[in-house]
Amino acid sequence: MPNEILLNAFDMNCMAHQSFGLWRHPRDRSVNYKTTEYWTDLAQTLERGLFDGLFLADVLGTYDVYGGSPGAAIRTATQIPVNDPTLVIPPMAMVTENLCFGVTGTLSYESPVPFARRMSTLDHLTGGRVGWNVVTGYLQSAAKGTGQVDQSAHDTRYDIAEEYMEIMYKLWEASWSENAVRLDRKAGVFADPDRIEQIKHDGLYLSIDSPHLCEPSPQRTPILYQAGSSPKGRSFAAKHAECVFVVGPSTAVLTSVVADLRQRATDGGRDPADLKIFAMMTVIVAPTDEEAQAKLADYQRYVSHESALAVLSGWTGIDFSHFSLDDKLTNSKVEGIQGVMDAFTADPGRVWTIREIAEKIAIGGPSPVVVGSPTTVVNEMERWVRETDVDGFNLARVVAPETFVDVVDLVVPEMQSRGIYKREYRPGTYREKLYGRGPHLTTPHPGSAYHR
Amino acid sequence: MPNEILLNAFDMNCMAHQSFGLWRHPRDRSVNYKTTEYWTDLAQTLERGLFDGLFLADVLGTYDVYGGSPGAAIRTATQIPVNDPTLVIPPMAMVTENLCFGVTGTLSYESPVPFARRMSTLDHLTGGRVGWNVVTGYLQSAAKGTGQVDQSAHDTRYDIAEEYMEIMYKLWEASWSENAVRLDRKAGVFADPDRIEQIKHDGLYLSIDSPHLCEPSPQRTPILYQAGSSPKGRSFAAKHAECVFVVGPSTAVLTSVVADLRQRATDGGRDPADLKIFAMMTVIVAPTDEEAQAKLADYQRYVSHESALAVLSGWTGIDFSHFSLDDKLTNSKVEGIQGVMDAFTADPGRVWTIREIAEKIAIGGPSPVVVGSPTTVVNEMERWVRETDVDGFNLARVVAPETFVDVVDLVVPEMQSRGIYKREYRPGTYREKLYGRGPHLTTPHPGSAYHR
C-alpha cells in the first residue's frame, strides 16, 4: 500500500465522455466544453483538490457501429462533437501552478516532427507539466475519415508505435544535447550546432531527416501514458509508459492485470514501482450514504440508452441496434457476448438485458461506480488499492463539473485525514512530482538511452 | 484611399523572425518566446493599440541551404528553435477581447480532418477571432524532415491545395447545416443527424470519409490568409483569400502586384475590395527623426550577417556561404542574382556586396524599413497606401516587443489624429470586424457555395 493515493481527473473535450445522457442534467455544464472558461474553472477546481493531473482523452472518428451510422452518437453528443484537446491546456496552465495535464495523441494521424514539436511546445508553456498518452488508434471510422483505407492490423500498429517512439526519443532526448543552448549574446551564439544532431531515421514504416525543432523543454520527453490492454499493448506499456490506465469491473480482474503489468516491467529491467497505475473509477459522493444514493437515483433519470449503446457498439464492434431493450444477451444470441459483458461488469456469468447493460454503461462507462459518503467511498478506494496494487485512480465525471467538485470537497479531505493523500504538491515538473527525482527520463527507461 | 488603414503584427513563435541578430540587443525579449507571458503581454500591447490582428508565421524545417547545413541558422536562432504557433493563441485570446489571430498551417503536413478540427477549436476558444494562412510549404528541409521524399512540384502543390480547400469547405461549411445543433435537453437531442453530412471525398490527392468533428464555430471557415506570389499563387489567393500578404521593396513593385491580385479577384467574380491586402513593413519610430535614426544605428550594431545570409539562402536557394562579405553580387558571378537582389531592394540594378545585402535583410527581412518620427512614418504609410492600393500593413519587429510598443505609443495616435485609424474595434468575429458584414463567408466567395 503506497503512502499516498494518486488522483487523475479523466475528461475529454466533448460533452458525453464516460457518462451518457447526463448532459441533460440541469446542473451539467458540459455544453460549455467549447469555451476557455469551462476548462480554466475545471483546472482551478482540480488544483484546489491537489489532483495530480487532468487527463484528456481523444478520438478522431465517430461511433458509427450502432445502426451502421454515427446518427445515434451525433444525436446524443456521444464523443462528438469533440474538439482538439491540446489547445485547452495552455489556458489551464496559465491559471494553475501545479496541476499536470495528460493528453492523447494518436500517432497514426500525427506526423512525427510536427507532433514532437507540439508536445515540446506544451511542455515549455506548462513549465514541464505535460504528459502524452500514446494511442495507436482504435476506431475504424477514424482511419477511414483520415484517408487511410483500413486500420493497420492491431499487432502491426504496435510495431509502428515502437518505431514512432524511437523517433520521438531521438527528437526529444538525442537531438539537442545538454548545453547545446549557449545563449551567448556577446559571441552571437544562441546554440552550438555541434551539439545538435540531425535525426536521420529511415525505418520500415517511418522516415525523417530533421533536428528537433524545439530547444529542450523542462522534461524533454513528456510523461508517457499508455492504456493498452492486449498482450502487445501491455508489453508496450511496461516498456515505455510511466503512467498506465487500467479499467476493470472488479478488484479480482484488476489484480491480475496490474500484476502482469508490473511483472512485464520487471522482466524488462524496470522497477515495477516506476509504473504508476491508475484504475478508472466513477465516484458519486455526498455527505451521507443516503444522500449519495439519492444523487445516483437523480442522475439515473437522465441516462440515455441510445448514447450508451452507441459507445458500447463502438468499443465492442457489436451493433446493439439489432436488439430491443428487453432482449437478453446470451452467447446463443451473440457469439461470445458473455465474455464481453463480464469485461464490463462485476457479476461474471450474469445474463444482462440490453437495457440493463446500457444503464450500467451510461454512468461511468466501463468503470466501477462507487456511491456513498466520504467514509464509504474512501474505504472502497483503499480496498481497491490494497487488493489490486494500483497507485491511484482515474476519476470520470457523471455531471460536469459537479462530480469533480464533490470529490474535491468531500473525498479529498477524508483521504487527507487518513494520511493517504498529499497536503501540498511536490515542486517541479510532472516527472518530479510523480517520482520525486529529476525532470528527465532516467535509466533503465528505454528513452533515457537516447539522452546524450 | 480607404478610410482606415489596417494593422497586423507579424511575428513567429521563435527568436529571429524577420530581423537577424537582434535577439542580442539588451532590450530584446524574444528569448522568452517559449513562455505564455511573453505572448499574453504582446497580445495586450497590440490590443491597446487596436491592432486588427497578430499573424504568426511558421516553418517546419530548417534553413539549411547556407553551407549545406542548418548550422548557421541554429547558431543564430534563425527561425529555429520554432515552437508550435497554435498553442499560444488560446492564452492570448483569454487576455484580450478583440485582437484577432492569424496562423500558418502548412497543408502538406496536416491531415485534413484533424486540422479542420484544430482550426474550429481555435475559432470556438477565441470567439471567432482566428484566421488561417494557407501555406503549401516551401522549405525542402521540411518535406524531407517529415518523411516526404521530395517536395511536390510547385504547381502540383497548388493543385493539392485546391483539393484541400474543397475538403475544408465541405467540413466547415457543409457538414453541419444551420440548425443542426438543437440542444434539446427534454427530447435528449443534442444535434439532428439528418442535418449533419458525412463528407465523402475521394479525390486525386486526398480522400476522407467523416463528418466534421466539431459543431459550427462562430465563423465556420476561419478568415483565410494567403501569401502566394507566383501566378498560380496569386490566382489561388484571388480565389480563396480574404487577407493577402504581399511584400515588395518599393511602391512601384507593389502597385502592379496589388493591381494584379485585385484584377484576378474581379475576373473570378469577387469584389476586389474584399481582398484585404497587407504590405509587409518594418517601422522604427521615435519622437523625432533624429532619435529614430539613432535607434536604427543602435539596432544595426547587433545585426548578424550569418543569420541574415542563412535565411536569404533558404529563401533564394543560393548558398551565400561561398562568398566573402565583400564580394560583389553580379550576374557573371551568380546567374540571375541581379533579379533576386532587385526583388529584395528598392534600388533596381544596384550591385550589392554580400555584406550590404546581409545588412539590408538583417533588419526587417525583405520588407521596406521606414525610420522616423510619427509624422515621417505615417506620411510614408499613407504614401504606400495611396500609391499601391494596399489596405494596411503587416508590421515586423526588430526588437521584441519594443518595435510593437513603439508603434502603439507613437504611430497609432498619429494615425488616429489624421482620421485614418480606428478609435475602437468593431464588434463581433474577425470577419465581422474586417468587413462589417456577418460572421460567415458570403457569396461569391467559393467557400460560401458549400454552406447549406
DSSP per residue, B153-217: PHHHHHHHHHHHHHHHHIIIIISB-TT-EEEETTTTEEE-GGGB--EEEE-SS-EEEE--SSPPP
Neighbour count for residue A293 (Cβ, 10 Å): 14
* Average pLDDT value for residue range B44-69: 96
- The x, y and z cell numbers of residue B339, run together, are 533579379
Q: Which pLDDT tens digit goes with each residue over B61-74?
A: 999 999 999 999 99
* Average pLDDT value for residue range B233-243: 95
CA distance B443 to B280: 29
Give the confidence band of B333 by pLDDT, cuts at 50, 70, 90. Answer: confident
Q: Which pLDDT tens digit goes with each residue over B26-39?
A: 999 999 999 999 99
Neighbour count for residue A255 (Cβ, 10 Å): 16
pLDDT at B1 over 50: no
* Average pLDDT value for residue range B377-384: 98
Q: What is the 3-state secondary structure (H, E, C) of B386-408?
A: HHHCCCEEEEECCCCCHHHHHHH
pLDDT at B155 over 80: no
* Average pLDDT value for residue range B319-344: 91
CB A122 within 8 A of CB A222: yes
Within-domain flag for B304: no
Compute the nearest-CA separation of B378 from chain A (Å). 33
Q: Is the peptide bond before B444 cis (omega within 30 degrees of 0)?
A: yes
CB A261 within 8 A of CB A234: yes
CA distance A189 to A183: 6
Query: Residue A98's pLDDT is what?
Result: 98
- Chain B residue nearest residue A212, CA to CA: B81
Task: Tell me whether residues B70 and A193 touch, CB distance under 8 A.
Answer: yes
CA nearest neighbour of B298 among B393, B376, B402, B396: B402
Within-domain flag for A312: no
CA nearest neighbour of A145 among B207, B370, B147, B344: B207
CA distance A364 to A283: 9
Neighbour count for residue B189 (Cβ, 10 Å): 17
Which residues in chain A have their CB less than 8 angstroms from residue B191's CB? 74-75, 77, 81
Q: Among B83, B88, B192, B199, which would you mutate to test the A interface (most chain A Cβ atoms within 10 Å of its Cβ)?
A: B83
- Chain A residue nearest residue B13, CA to CA: A121
Within-domain flag for A188: yes
Specify the 3-state DSSP secondary structure of A279: strand
Task: Tell me whether residues A193 and B145 touch, CB distance under 8 A.
Answer: no
Interhelix angle B231-240/B154-169, rounded to 10 degrees, is: 10
For residue A284, give the CATH number of its domain: 3.20.20.30
Query: Residue B257's pLDDT is what?
Result: 95
pLDDT at B370 over 60: yes
Which residues in chain A have their CB less than 8 angstroms from residue B118's CB? 84, 87
Give the confidence band of B145 by pLDDT, cuts at 50, 70, 90. Answer: low
CA distance A161 to A236: 9
Task: Tell me whether residues A94 and B93 touch, CB distance under 8 A.
Answer: no
CA distance A135 to B318: 42
Size of interface A-B (CB pairs under 8 A): 218
Give the phi and the psi of residue A70 in degrees, each rounded to 5.
Answer: -80, 10
Read off the amino acid at residue A279.
A
Task: Tell me whether residues A213 and B60 touch, CB distance under 8 A.
Answer: yes
Within-domain flag for B313: no
Instruction: Choose between A400 and B151: higher pLDDT.
Output: A400
CB B21 within 8 A of CB B307: yes
Compute the nearest-CA separation of A271 from chain B (Å). 34
- Mention every residue, 6+ apart, whose C-beta is less than 8 A from residue B14: B30, B33, B77, B79, B80, B81, B82, B83
**Domain housing A146:** 6-296+365-450
Overall domain count for chain A? 1
- Chain A residue nearest residue B77, CA to CA: A190
Instruction: Choose between B139 and A325: higher pLDDT.
Output: A325
Of B90, B189, B306, the CB nearest to A87: B90
CA distance A275 to A239: 10
Query: Residue A1's pLDDT is what?
Result: 46
Within-domain flag for A325: no
Task: Tell me whether residues A190 and B74 touch, CB distance under 8 A.
Answer: yes
Q: Is B104 annotated as a binding residue?
A: yes
**What residues of chain A score a pLDDT lower than 70?**
1-2, 137-140, 142-152
CA distance B193 to A78: 12
Within-domain flag for B347: no
pLDDT at B153 over 80: no
pTM: 0.97
Which residues in chain B have their CB less than 8 angstroms from residue A61's CB? 210
Which residues in chain B have their CB less than 8 angstroms from residue A111's CB? 109, 146-147
Of B34, B60, B211, the CB nearest to A124: B34
Average pLDDT of the residues of chain B: 94
Give the confidence band of B115 by pLDDT, cuts at 50, 70, 90. Answer: very high
- Alpha helices, DSSP H only, in A170-288? 231-240, 251-267
Which residues in chain A have their CB less than 8 angstroms from residue B72's CB? 193
Within-domain flag for A140: yes
Characterise B233 by phi-psi region: left (phi > 0), alpha (psi -120 to 50), beta (else).
alpha
Beta pairing partners, A101: A54, A130
Q: Among B12, B31, B34, which would you mutate to test the A interface (most chain A Cβ atoms within 10 Å of its Cβ)?
A: B34
Query: Residue A156's pLDDT is what?
Result: 83
Task: Tell me whether residues B84 and A145 touch, CB distance under 8 A.
Answer: no
Beta pairing partners, B245: B278
Q: For chain A, what percent of residues have pLDDT higher than 90?
A: 86
The b/e string for A133-146 (b: 16+ C-beta within 10 A; e otherwise) is bbbbbbbbbbbbbb
Strands B189-191 and B181-184: antiparallel
* Average pLDDT value for residue range B154-163: 85
CA distance A223 to A201: 23
Query: Residue A260's pLDDT is what?
Result: 97
CA nearest neighbour of A230 among A284, A282, A300, A155: A155
Strands A223-226 and A100-106: unpaired
Compute the nearest-CA separation of A68 from chain B (Å). 13
Task: Tell me whether residues A91 and B87 touch, CB distance under 8 A.
Answer: no
Find where cell 484611399 sits. B1
CB A210 within 8 A of CB B144: yes
Compute the nearest-CA separation of A410 from chain B (Å). 29
Distance of CA B265 to the CA centre of its chain: 20
CA distance A105 to A138: 12
- The x, y and z cell numbers of residue B68, run together, are 549545406
Within-domain flag for A354: no
The b/e string for B83-93 (b: 16+ C-beta within 10 A; e otherwise) is bbbbbbbbbbb
- Chain A residue nearest residue B88, CA to CA: A90
Query: Residue B92's pLDDT is what?
Result: 98
Q: Among B56, B86, B146, which would you mutate to test the A interface (most chain A Cβ atoms within 10 Å of its Cβ)?
A: B146
